Structure 1
Amino acid sequence: MVPVGLWELVVYFLRLGASGFGGPIALAGYMQRDLIPRRWITEEEYREGLAFSQMMPGPLAAQLAMWIGFIRHGVVGASLVGLVFVLPALLIVVVIAWLYVAYHGLSVVQALFYGMGPTIIAIVARSAYRLALTTVGSDRRLWAIFGVVALVTVVARTEVALLFVAAGLIGVLLYSPPGSWRKATVPLVGLVAAPGTAGLLAIPLLLELGAFFVKAGAFTFGSGLAIVPFLHEGVVMKHHWLTEREFLDAVAVGIITPGPVVITAAFVGFLVAGLSGAVIAAAGVFLPVYLFVLFVGRYIVRYRDKPALKGFVKGATAAASGAIAGAAVILGEGSIFDTWTAVIGVASILILWRFKPPEPLLLAVAGVIGIVLYGR
């Protein structure tokens, strides 16, 4: 091991947050590639942090970054690393959101997102598929959870957040022998009880916005795009803060910017309440991650091999992948509405399947195609 200074670590994560594309798995891979050879962390510490981040709700990459900051420099390390990792993406998203609001009426902006919309659906669908493959595998019981949650999401036209908890508890029953329940009580209580923010939802807009995104950060298991169905349910269906079109545009911005995908929250917040809304939404979605790292992480690592905890995570993650699949169907109805958008959507799926290009690059190409085809 080589002792790493606080500011060395902060500078590294500032640079990663400003240049790291590819979503949570790619960002976690960059940390492994960069930090272990420098001997700033050990392979075992990385594996523990990755296991913790996969088991807990919230954005995986940000959680892993804060975990590394925490094990090296405690609360100060977790705080500064989390701040600088998110800050570049937040600033970029605020600028994009300002331009979006200022020039939303221009046909070129509408044409850009005309092409990007179907590609977003392809990316979301692929995310659901990949998450299901890695977490569900060949387990028929988990596929049943996946199918039920996907069907409920499509039929109800919304995500039912309690299904995540229910699916997790079903996972406990399926994969945990009775003798292991007592030993896993502490982390499971932390998982289920953390999102207790519903009482804040009746107060003014900024607090309502912050409370919603705290709950979003505390309930989203799986990949970065696992937050999409939850946001769609709250932002579009319940609160009517954004239209379907604006919501798809928000997801696109989260994908094309560096850093964690859930920075989509800042774009939504800006459209709802300006700069203060963007800051509060971003702070809200990352707050549960920060608190989990400080207060729950050590217990998750200690109990990560307990069947009850593993069962809860399996069930909740299967539900998350099902919700993403259902959200892809719902969002597809709003973005694939003519021949050209259907062609772009199908082509995007085939390209992602065959060539696996960087998602921001594919979105950029789709945007250019949208400009060419819009209005025809």
Structure 2
Amino acid sequence: MTTDLERPPVSARYTVWQLVRYMLALGTWGFGGPVALVGYMYRDLVERRGWISESDYKEGLALAQLMPGPLAAQLSIYLGFVHHGLIGATVVGLAFVLPSFFMVVALGAAYVAYGGIGWMQAVFYGVGAAVIGIIAMSAYKLTTKSIGKDKLLWAIFLISAAVTVITKSEVVWVFLGAGVLVWLWRAPPKFGRSLNSFAAPVAAWLTLDAIDWHKLGQIGAYFAYAGTFVFGSGLAIVPFLYGGVVKEYAWLTDRQFVDAVAVAMITPGPVVITTGFIGYLVGGFWGAVVAALATFVPCYLFTVIPAPYFKKYGKRPAIVAFVDGVTAAAIGAITGAVIVIGQRSITDWITAALALVTVAVLWRFKKFPEPVIVLTAALLGLLLHPMLSHS
């Protein structure tokens, strides 16, 4: 008997290895954190290459927002699953995460060997500002493409953005509430069969609560807990990690934790890879491996287990309405995250100018390579930050 996970997917216009190569490149050069990364995936895989359909992308984004764990990593896993099943989800997810993992391990080794990385703050001074411009453009494209002129979706978008700005986090109940609201508005259930079909995938997601990560040891148990119960993008895990790593276990000092977050922000790939850097500082190379695995394995399971149900039921009017509502809330949260991150990265007129120039360049030159912008901003940061700090 063939299970949903083993059933052959529909034919694709690309091979799994083409998608793996793309994710390796995105994991190597994709700066900007989760907001920018999901925008890159939309631009490259939906708009430019046409490998992924608009509906599949929206389903993946909705699932990534509903499930705990890092947003961009879960979206990459789902996109791997769309046409290539469980194997595609596994190799594509690994391809996305591994480049940044090796980078943070190398930086962790340098950090331990040389007693901190002073230039990191200077680099982030420039890169952080440029990244705000990049993710602002990504949020703009997602908003105009996915929400259109639908007044209900615009209301959800604005409320979700406001909640994100006020709470400085992404609230899963906003996504769920938005999905249910649009579902009830557009395709109210005829109580009975349709309600049961809607509940089926939700019931399947909840079975993951029984997974026991405590066998991985203290580091593994803590980071598995973080990966299992923190909702929202990779940025949402940062305050959660601070409470455990600094306050509860005292594995790192405040300064070391700030440096760990800076490492995640100045390296490409998912922000959550900061767990690899923290793991290295706490337990060396194997500490990094255990911390990264413990963080990403839950998000992998939370994606591939409900994915077949999303594919099976995703075209029904009730599910389409639910996904549209969640997508509107997700894009609102992404837009709100631009403001939250901007408050931390835009600290003076120089960083404000860098962000505005980045937006102007990307607006004028649609295919301008973001790595060039990030590298230029990093060099400007190295040049200007020491001068400003001594003035």
Shift of residue 369, structure 1, vs aligned partner: 1.0
Query: Structure 1 327/169 Cα, relative in aligned 2: closer, same or farther at 3 Å?
Result: same
Partner of 1:231 in structure 2? 237
| Counterpart for residue 321 of structure 2 | 311
Q: How far apart, CA to CA, are the structure 1 residues paired with 2:374 and 2:112?
A: 20
Q: 2:307 aligns with which of 297, 303, 306?
A: 297
Residues 1:100 and 1:106: Cα distance change in structure 2 (over 3 Å)? closer
Residue 211 to residue 131, structure 1, CA distance change in 2 (3 Å): farther
- Does the aligned pair in 2 maintain the 1:65–1:81 contact within 8 Å? yes
> Where does residue 362 of structure 2 map in the other structure?
352
Residue 366 of structure 1 corresponds to 377
Query: Which residue in 2 is equivalent to 1:271?
Result: 278
Contact conserved, 1:159 with 1:229, CA < 8 A, in 2? Answer: no
Task: Kindly indicate whether residue 120 of structure 2 is the aligned counterpart of residue 109 of structure 1.
Answer: yes
Fraction of identical pairs, as percent: 30
* 1:198 CA drift (Å): 11
**1:115, CA displacement in angstroms?**
0.7
TM-score (norm 1): 0.73
CA distance in 1, matches of 2:315, 2:298: 23
Aligned to 2:129: 118
Counterpart AA for 1:368: L
- Structure 2 counterpart of 1:116, which letter? V
How far did 1:236 drift? 5.2
Per the alignment, residue 168 of structure 1 pairs with: 179
With over 3 angstroms needed to count, the CA separation of the structure-2 counterparts of 1:239 and 1:173, relative to structure 1, is: farther
The partner residue of 1:90 within 97, 101, 107 is 101
TM superposition shift of 1:77: 6.2
Residues 1:178 and 1:30: Cα distance change in structure 2 (over 3 Å): closer
Contact 1:13 1:84 in 2 (8 A): no
Residue 351 (structure 2) aligns with: 341
Distance 1:279 1:24, change over 3 A: farther
**Are the equivalent residues in 1 in contact too, given 2:136–2:338 (CA < 8 A)?**
yes
Deviates more, 1:242-251 or 1:322-331: 242-251
**Deviation, structure 1 residue 237:** 7.5
Structure 2 residues without counterparts, runs of 5 or longer: 1-14, 31-36, 65-70, 247-251
Partner of 1:178 in structure 2?
Answer: 189
Out of 69, 73, 76, which is 1:61 matched to?
76
Give 1:265 shift.
1.6
Structure 2 match to 1:258: none
Cα deviation, residue 17, structure 1 = 4.1
SS at match of 1:158: coil
* 1:205 Cα deviation after fit: 4.5
* TM-fit CA distance, 1:324: 2.2
CA distance in 1, matches of 2:150, 2:177: 18
Query: Which of 17, 25, 42 is 1:19 aligned to?
Result: 25
What stretches of structure 1 of length at least 5 have no aligned partner?
1-8, 37-42, 221-226, 255-260
State the match for 1:137 in structure 2. Answer: 148
- The structure 2 residue matched to 1:99, chosen from 110, 122, 129, is 110
**1:76/1:327 Cα in 2 relative to 1: closer, same or farther (>3 Å)?**
closer
- Are the structure 2 counterparts of residues 148 and 51 from structure 1 closer, same or farther at C-alpha, using a change threshold of 3 Å? closer
Matches within 5 A, 1:152-163: 152-163=163-174
TM-score, with length taken from structure 2: 0.71
The separation in 2 between residues aligned to 1:328 and 1:35, in whole angstroms, is: 26
Alpha carbons 2:182, 2:322 under 8 Å: kept:
yes
What is the alpha-carbon root mean square deviation over aligned residues? 3.9
Q: Which residue number corresponds to residue 12 of structure 2?
A: none
Deviation at 1:367, TM superposition (A): 0.3
1:187 and 1:309 in contact (8 A); partners too: no
Quote the offset at 1:90 in angstroms: 2.4
Instruction: Please tell me whether the aligned partners of residues 151 and 326 of structure 1 are also in contact (alpha carbons under 8 angstroms).
Output: yes
Name the CA distance, whole Å, in 2 between partners of 1:50 and 1:146: 18
